[in-house]
Structure 1
Amino acid sequence: MEKLLEINDIYTSFNTHVGEVQAVRGVTIDLYKGEAIGIVGESGSGKSITMMTVMRLLDSNGVIKKGEVLFDGKDLTKLSEKEMENIRGNEIGMIFQDPMTSLNPVITIGDQLSEPLIRHKSMSKSEARKKVIEMLNLVGIPSPEKRIKQYPYEFSGGMRQRVMIAMALICEPKLLIADEPTTALDVTIQAQILELMKELKQKLNMSIILITHDLGVVADVCSRINVMYGGVVVESGTSRDIFYNANHPYTWGLLRSIPNPKLEVKERLKPIEGTPPDLLAPPKGCPFAERCEYAMKVCFEGRAENYKINEGHYSSCWLNHPYALEIMQDIKRSVG
């Protein structure tokens, strides 16, 4: 398989009036052509900022301090803004978190969807209109000939989300970044959106990066998962690795917070106690150490290397050090 995207040791910060917020601190993620991967973690873990770094859509106070983002062999961090404009919406599409605020309320859906076709594909207005109607049909919006004349406020939340998917896919990009695409949707619409993304992936042979805090969502779509916390990737592996052989205490915490409908005796969900680290002054050790019930002295003194658990499965936890492996085995047996 050929790699489409390589994020190599990326550091992204924001300069604020109270200091430097180190939002992303050495993230490395790769993606193959035709593959779907997930990035999971709680709010503030750096998921969206990592993808905004890829898209070069950072606020004016945001800066990429170190690293490279290779997309189809090109380092996106080195491209000019004009060169990035030719890639955004054309080779890389993105579904943003809130479809209502991402759509322009005073421009019709048809005009908003036509714009990238006219801009990137040099289509005439009539050609673009025909393509827009085809795409709205593809994402399951009824009567698209009428709907293209309507405004975002005339669509339900689920329909607006479908419009956002259509907008991200209208130029048939090589990569689709979906940032919390099912947030605020009811479970029926969530299932429809996820099924739609899987179908389009097969039809268009595109790659997908799915950002979410919901492990249940990525289990259905993604072949590999990256778990982020405190601006770093703490564990990565196949979906099976993460769900059945999780290795990092933070991943265990995420899994314990998911209800299991198969249990005969219902158990209380166990929350992760504490709060995420302050990235104005990030800890020099493991970012999860303050909340980790298995933390050792070394966890507060430095970040662990990315230990290889098995082929394709890595975990940044000191419990995988040769001196602590016996402790890790005892913990994993008790965790189940």
Structure 2
Amino acid sequence: MENILEVNNLCTSFYTYAGEVKAVRDVSFSLKKGDALGIVGESGSGKSVTMMSIMRLLSDNGKITDGTITFSGTNITNLKKSELKAIRGDRIGMIFQDPMTSLNPLLTIGRQLMEPLVVHRKISKAEAENKAIEMLKLVGIPEPERRLKQYPHEFSGGMRQRVMIATALICEPELVIADEPTTALDVTIQAQILELLKDIKEKMNTSIIMITHDLGIVADLCDMINVMYGGTIVERGTKRDIFYNSRHPYTWGLLRSVPNPKNLIKERLKPIEGQPPNLLNPPKGCPFAARCDYAMGVCLEKKPQGFEISDTQVSACWLNHPDAPRIENPLLGRKNNE
């Protein structure tokens, strides 16, 4: 299968009064057509900035300083704004984190849904309205004809998120980026939104990037998972690799901080102690070294390379070096480099 998206050595910085914040540092990944990729990590790890760099929606003080972004065979890294407008909202859709602040409170739902069609498809208002009704039905909103005339404040949180999904999908994009689309929702609505995204992926063969801090959310939806920390990807692999054979202490920390209902023995959740690195002055070694229980001298001095665990899994941790000490993986009960 061909790659619909390729990101190579992406670096993004924000220039502030305090100095240059290196928010994304040498990030590379790819996504195949029809697949779903999960990008996980705690707040400040660079997940959303990476996606905003792809969409070129950075604030005025943000800039891509290095790397390339290739979408469907075209390098879009340095496209003009007019050229980007032809892609954003048409071939690439984005579901933003907070629908209440992303939807315009002064415009009806119908007008906001129809706008991408009018701009990108150049169709009549009547055709756009029919398509908007069809999309509201697809995302499970009842009485779509009446709902088109309502405003965002007349919808519940879950319904607003469904409207955001409908807006992102209305032009049938090749790629959808979902930035923590279930964060503010209760678990029942979360499950419904995830099922909806799965159905859309299967029915429309849409590629999806799911950004989240919760590994549990990507377990059912995503084919591949990238774990980000300190502006870099510290581990990547299939969901089976990450959940059953993770080889990075940060991934272990994420997994141990999530409750597992299958555990027969009740255990306290173990948080990751400490704070993320200051990206005004990024550490020269491993970004996780200061918080890692297994850190060695080399971890503080030299950034780890990506060690290939298998054809699908890469882990940027010195513990995977052949000469590293043999420590026990706390999740697997066996040595990390076995």
**TM-score, scaled relative to structure 1:** 0.98
Look up the match of 1:168: 168
Matched, 1:32 2:32: yes
Post-superposition Cα deviations, 1:116-152, rounded to whole Å, max 9, x if no partner, equal: 0000000111110000000000000000000000000
Cα drift, residue 264 of structure 1: 2.1
In structure 2, give the amino acid aligned to 1:296: M
Counterpart-to-counterpart distance in 2, 1:242 and 1:251: 8
Cα deviation 1:219-245 (Å, max 9, x = unaligned): 010011000000000000000000000
1:154 aligns with 2:154: yes
Computed over aligned residues only, the root mean square deviation of the Cα atoms, in angstroms, reads: 1.2
Residue matched to 1:292: 292
Note if contact 2:105-2:152 (Cα within 8 Å) is conserved in structure 1: yes
Question: Matches of 1:171 and 1:165 in 2, distance apart?
Answer: 11
2:326 — aligned with what? 327
Looking at structure 1, the residues matched to 82 and 220 of structure 2 have their Cα atoms a distance apart, in angstroms, of 37
Question: Is the partner of 1:90 in helix, strand or coil?
Answer: coil
- Is it true that 1:70 corresponds to 2:73 in the alignment? no
Alignment of 1:1-336 (within 5 A): 1-324=1-324, 326-328=325-327, 333=333
Task: Output the amino acid matched with 1:147.
Answer: R
Note the residue ranges of structure 1 that are not aligned, 5 or more in a row. Answer: none
Q: How far does residue 333 in structure 1 lie from its aligned partner after superposition?
A: 3.3
1:139–1:162 Cα contact (<8 Å) kept: yes
Q: Is the 8 A contact 2:21 2:279 kept in 1?
A: yes
Secondary structure class of the residue paired with 2:9: strand
Question: Residue 330 of structure 1: CA displacement?
Answer: 6.9
Q: Give the AA of the match of 1:37.
A: L
Ranges of 4+ aligned residues in structure 1 off by more than 2 Å? 328-336
Checking the alignment, whether the CA contact within 8 Å between 2:235 and 2:315 is kept in structure 1 is: yes
Q: Which one-letter code corresponds to 2:161 in the other structure?
A: Q
* Equivalent pair of 1:110/1:149 in contact (CA under 8 Å): yes
SS of residue paired to 1:82: helix
* Separation in structure 2 between the aligned mates of residue 107 and residue 53 of structure 1, nearest angstrom: 28
Deviation per CA, 1:244-291, whole angstroms, max 9, x where unpaired? 000000000000001111222210000000000011111011000000
Question: May I ask how many residue pairs the two structures share in their alignment?
Answer: 335
- Secondary structure of 2:323's partner? helix
Give 5+ residue unaligned stretches, structure 2: none
Shift of 1:184: 1.1
1:3-31 residue CA offsets vs partner (Å, 9 max, x unmatched): 00000000000000111110000000100
Q: Which protein has the bigger helix share?
A: 1
Distance 1:330 1:43, change over 3 A: closer
Q: SS at 1:333's partner residue?
A: coil
User: d(CA) in 2 for partners of 1:123 and 1:26?
Assistant: 41
How far apart, in 1, do the equivalents of 2:335 and 2:217 lie?
23
CA contact (8 A) 1:320 1:328 kept: no
Contact kept in structure 1, 2:328 and 2:335, CA below 8 Å: no
Question: What one-letter code is carried by the residue in structure 2 that aligns with 1:327?
Answer: R
Q: Could you tell me how far apart the structure 2 residues matched to 1:214 and 1:281 are?
A: 27
Kept in 1: contact 2:327–2:335 (CA 8 A): no
Comparing 87-96 with 74-83, greater Cα deviation is found at 74-83
Does the aligned pair in 1 maintain the 2:326–2:335 contact within 8 Å? no
